[in-house]
Structure 1
């Protein structure tokens, strides 16, 4: 049987990670809790942002975790999909915008 690209997260694996750097893990958990608390943005909006960013960074663990959290907060499937489309447009738009760098290099090469 072929080994999966991304291992399944389980308590044993998380425990081992925590044992290797407990202070860092605690700091990260506190940071995460603080970031996702309601503030100027609602918890729902923050989860939608996280879903969009997770799709741009292509983190499968983040996609699963933040999709689940968003749905627990009452975010609809349609809202989640719309956030994913925004992320898709931004990623594609960034690729197109960066074409100016290649264009500049091609122009410089010719001179």
Structure 2
């Protein structure tokens, strides 16, 4: 059964089938070995530094590796990076996170994103007050 992906920014409908990677059904290129190699070749020192930084960030410390991957899953959903969602969901599972924990992390991300919009509504309310000549000070 096909899964319908949301319309892309250019308005075209995107369709995918079950089992395909999330980034394969979005307007993003696949992470081919050639592209990964090219990215590394263009700036090898920076790539190596980033990879070392990433390895350190996700190493066990005050937070265990599973918790760090669950945080990454949530953040990936807020930043809406399909590569990050794919990779960190798999890593969280490999590190022992349950499907339920991963889904709860996603719901935390959803609440935080919605909460941010709600919290910023005071900017809109202040703008409306200013437009209507009202002040709460």
Q: TM-score range by the shorter chain?
A: over 0.9
Q: TM-score, normalised by structure 2?
A: 0.77
- Deviation, 1:7, is 1.0
Q: Scaled by the length of structure 1, what TM-score is found?
A: 0.95
Q: Report the equivalent of 2:129.
A: 107
Gaps of 5+ in 1: none
Q: CA RMSD in A?
A: 1.4
Structure with greater proportional helix content: 1
Name which structure has the greater RCO, CA cutoff 8 Å, separation 6+. Answer: 1
| Count of aligned residue pairs for this structure pair | 110
Equivalent in the alignment of 1:70: 92
Alignment correspondent of 1:52: 74
Aligned pairs for 1:1-40 within 5 A: 5-40=27-62
Larger radius of gyration: 2
1:93 is the counterpart of 2:115: yes
Query: Which has the larger share of strand?
Result: 2
Give ranges in structure 2 of 5+ residues lacking alignment.
1-13, 15-24
Runs of 4+ with deviation above 6 angstroms: none
